Amino acid sequence: MSSLTASLNQHLCALRLHWRRHRAFPAMEELAAVLGVKSKGGVHKTLGRLVDEGLLERVGSRYAPTEAFFALPLVGPARAGLPQPADAGQAPEALSVENFLVDHPDQTVYCRVKGDSMMDAGLLDGDIVVVDQSTQAKAGDIVVAVVDHEITVKRLRSNGSPETWILEPANAAFKPIHPKGSLEILGVVTGSFRRFRR
């Protein structure tokens, strides 16, 4: 995707906002109002340019968003220490958060973290973890597991033999969990995200 003109980017933003609210594009007659153009010809021209940019695709007589439609500009890097000059030399790359975090969409679920037993691993109360159910868990992985009929997120550790697992917290205030009966690994945590402000 090349750098968009200001007007085309404005049209893209209007379409994204409509999609977020309705999960669909309106009928062609209503698109003129959404895009802020005066004619059906202007609508077709705008949509055609978005197709050329790889943001939309034609599906029969209708238009549908591509993966790139949902990608947002990735600026930076932004140093967490002393500030650095901004890189104004080139257009930022586009990033889709779901594409970045999810490798197997048909076998991935999200799980909300509750409590602070994993805070030293960077997982805080209220965070959402990405759980890949297609990945074979191994020692050292952070997993979501059902242990003795209760769900938890912990680091998987071997207790001497591959068949004997313990679930280790990432907070010294908590003790490891030694399953007394059943242990089912729901999936491996491959990422996480949180929202700071709504």
DSSP output for 91-138: PPEEE-HHHHH-S-GGGEEEEE--SSTTGGGT--TT-EEEEESSSPP-
Give the DSSP H/E element, type plus range, for residue 6.
Answer: helix 6-22
CB 119 within 8 A of CB 171: yes
> SS3 of 142, please?
strand
From 154, 158, 175, 182, active-site residue: 154
Please name which of 147, 150, 156, 142 lies closest in space to residue 180, comparing C-alpha atoms: 147
Is 7 noted as a catalytic residue in this protein?
Answer: no
From 2, 39, 117, 175, active-site residue: 117
The pairing of beta strand 128-132 with beta strand 183-193: antiparallel
Is 138 noted as a catalytic residue in this protein?
Answer: no
Which residues are annotated as catalytic? 117, 154
